[in-house]
Amino acid sequence: MDDHRVLRQQTGVAVALGEAERARYRFRELLIREAEDVIRAGVGRTGLSEYLSVVDLAQAFHRQVAPRASTGLGICTATSIHLCAAIPNLYLLGYKPKLVKLANQYLTSPLVYQNGTFQTL
């Protein structure tokens, strides 16, 4: 974590961390050590309630949140889209065309990405 802080300080490049984390306590460590600019949690790893706790924690540290494009297929992708509406410190939602195409194989209503947003059919 300290290496990430040094990277942030010496390069001026924004650092996003947290893809593999599952609990707010680990995110708290990242935030306290100033290791990141953006929290990249995945709802497929944290669950919805814990994710919202991470959002609150990030907001308390004046950091933005960017839900990661999940390999959890349709349900995690759809949950991440809905979650974005409840994140006041939202940075962006990761988008991977191949994952959305794969996710749509498991959803009754497909996810459609057009003009920079997800659309409903």
| From the candidate CATH numbers 1.10.10.10, 3.40.50.2300, 3.40.630.30, 3.20.20.120, the one assigned to the domain spanning 2-96 | 3.20.20.120
Q: pLDDT tens per residue, the chain (121 residues)?
A: 678 888 888 988 889 999 889 999 999 999 999 999 999 999 989 999 999 999 999 999 999 999 987 766 788 888 898 999 999 999 999 888 888 888 888 888 888 888 888 886 6
CB 79 within 8 A of CB 26: no
The model carries a pTM of: 0.86
**88-105 CB burial, b ≥16 within 10 A, e <16:** ebebebbeeeebbeebbe
Q: How far apart are CA 64 and CA 67, in angstroms?
A: 10
